[in-house]
Amino acid sequence: LKFIVGGEAGWLSGLRARPRVGRSWFERDLFYHGTFRDDFLWGVSSSAYQIEGGWDADGKGPSIWDNFTHTPGNNVVNNDNGDIACDSYNKLEEDLNILRALRVKAYRFSLSWSRIFPTGRIDSVNKYGVDYYNRLIDGLVASSIIPMVTLYHWDLPQALQDIGGWDNPSLIELFDSYADFCFRTFGDRVQFWMTFNEPMYEAWLGYGEGVFPPGVKDPGYAPYRIAHTIIKAHARVYHTYDEKYRESQKGVISLSLSTHWMEPKSPNLPGDIEAADRALQFSLGWFAHPIFRNGDYPDAMKWKVGNRSELQNLATSRLPSFTEEEKRYIRNTADVFCLNTYSTKIVKHRTPQLNPPSYENDLERTEEDDNSWPSTAVNRAVPWGMRRVLNWLKEEYGDIPIYVTENGVGLKKSQIEDIDRIFFFKTYINEALKAYNLDGVNLQGYMAWSMMDNFEWLQGYSVKFGLYQVDFNDTNRPRTARTSARYYTEVINNNGMPLDKEDEFLYGEFPKATSISIYLSIHPSIHPSIHSSIHPSTYSSLSLSLPPIYLSIYLHIYTHIDITCTYVL
């Protein structure tokens, strides 16, 4: 028996995680106190189209999102667009001041391909765009903030979409020449690169559902073709960096992948368990399995799409295949795992219609929410899903360093006192802390989404994700710190969620000659009060029969030690 002595705020620190299967909701949701590794990378995220504005300033070329939002009937709320957005192109110093005030160690942002190459090609370099990013990177480095740079966050130059976009394999070479220029131009100060942000959404929303630009509605075929090209483009850029720049610049390169945690509706039904895992493979594994495992798609994808293609009387699978040479070229083309995650879905197996072909039907599952989960403007808040998806990554891809590159909550209201957002960050970061400290997940960084309110794609400016409020009705786009900004800075300063000094536990043994009286008080709503004195020799057998739910111990040292134990079920 080990004595754990401390105040009420520290009562959870004596608990250790049990296996995920069978963990009660009570134990699952317990708050945990602790800290991350000393060099943990705390930061915030943004993307070029969502904050920069200046859509045609100083020679910038149009992107597919510029054209999309300028086209009537695009389904963006209030017909919003990113023409001005947060006006970060003209407010660089204000953005740097926010980052300094937050005390972040890193800033994840993306480059606008069409701001650097207006036509998407290297023969159209725009020096004004290059200068903007040089000034941003220099400002970050001068402030001891690590630049984490994404090369592509959905805003393809329109000139390249005009030749077919990602459905044209020639974009592999064009993307590589763009990346090569960025490595050569910015790499002396940038040591953390991401090639693509959430390519699953690029493939499905842009080419399957067609609700994102370029608006292609080909749900059974195009998403798989687009993903195939993007994976090859990523691998090409990785090898360019590895062969030409890694030795001198000493950086890392990866890509940001996204998924919700997928929880089986009935954990005792093999069909639901397989459907939940299949949903993870079709979202995260679609790109992660080739890159982090064996250069090829997950077996669940190959079998399911191949089988349904055969039943559809197709000569070959709708899921393209890699050659053996391509598999060798693609595998192990990421140094770290970058994860964007926001919510959880409950997954159940289903057998959908066979035709017409669709990526969604290939998954053979349904997804739903639990109405008891707190709702937000975009997703339900399910903190424990963070811990589970991080553990799944560890089990699936090994002990690779993991960075959460996006996590945050969208709210409809724009109030400064954003208590709901504080609760979200507190609980989600706490689950990440459990994964790191209790489960041994190699988590090395966390980026909050987002630094400030911005253009949220189809939601326009109607949804607020920012630690800083932006007034989009004011032409000056003033930024104001929300309460959550101060909270996040406190978490960064504490490197997690440690116990206060007065609540820290004391570990040790009492002197052998000590007389110990233990008074047990059980809440009247559970059982009439019980008071008894127990000799030390009987303490062990007694303690094992009591529920270790909530224990607060106070010591009063006189001629003997009185210990008052309060148990609350």
Name the band, by pLDDT with cuts 50, 70 and 90, for residue 559: very low
**Averaged over 443-449, what is the pLDDT?**
98
CB 393 within 8 A of CB 441: yes
pLDDT score recorded for residue 552? 37
Choose between 520 and 439: higher pLDDT: 439
Assess whether pLDDT exceeds 50 at residue 6. Answer: no
Residue 406 known to be catalytic: yes
Assess whether pLDDT exceeds 50 at residue 483. Answer: yes
pTM of the model: 0.86
- 394 and 522 share one domain: no
Residue 386 covered by a domain: yes
Residue 343 covered by a domain: yes
Mean pLDDT value across the chain: 88
Q: Which of 442, 464, 498 is the last residue of a domain?
A: 498
Cα distance between residue 45 and residue 36, in whole Å: 20
Give per-residue pLDDT as tens, 293-322: 999 999 999 999 999 999 999 999 999 999
- 453 and 544 share one domain: no
Residue 2 covered by a domain: no
pLDDT score recorded for residue 514? 58
Q: What is the tally of structural domains in the chain?
A: 2
- 105 and 209 share one domain: yes
- 484 and 541 share one domain: no
Residue 68 covered by a domain: yes
Q: Which of 448, 468, 498 is the last residue of a domain?
A: 498
Share above pLDDT 70 across residues of the chain, in percent, rounded to a whole number: 85
pLDDT score recorded for residue 505? 67
Assess whether pLDDT exceeds 90 at residue 10. Answer: no
- 537 and 481 share one domain: no
Question: Mean pLDDT highest for which of 19-33, 454-468, 530-544?
Answer: 454-468
Residue 4 covered by a domain: no
pLDDT score recorded for residue 257? 98
- 523 and 376 share one domain: no
Assess whether pLDDT exceeds 50 at residue 43. Answer: yes
Q: Which of 469, 498, 527 is the last residue of a domain?
A: 498
Share above pLDDT 90 across residues of the chain, in percent, rounded to a whole number: 82
- 137 and 232 share one domain: yes
pLDDT score recorded for residue 158? 98
- 184 and 226 share one domain: yes
pLDDT score recorded for residue 17? 32
- 415 and 542 share one domain: no
- 230 and 361 share one domain: yes
209, 406, 431, 456: which one is catalytic?
406
Give per-residue pLDDT as tens, 109-165: 999 999 999 999 999 999 999 999 999 999 999 999 999 999 999 999 999 999 999
Q: Which residues pair with 294 in a beta bridge?
A: none
Residue 538 covered by a domain: yes
Assess whether pLDDT exceeds 80 at residue 356. Answer: yes
CB 168 within 8 A of CB 174: no
- 127 and 233 share one domain: yes
Number of other CB atoms surrounding residue 360 within 10 Å = 16
Give per-residue pLDDT as tens, 188-245: 999 999 999 999 999 999 999 999 999 999 999 999 999 999 999 999 999 999 999 9
**532 lies in which domain range?**
516-563
Residue 154 covered by a domain: yes
**Residues 6+ away with beta carbon under 8 Å from 548:** none
pLDDT score recorded for residue 515? 59
- 540 and 447 share one domain: no
Cα distance between residue 125 and residue 131, in whole Å: 11
Residue 568 covered by a domain: no
CA distances from 443 to 38, 189, 251, 256, 422 (A): 12, 24, 18, 15, 21
Give the CATH number, domain containing residue 291: 3.20.20.80
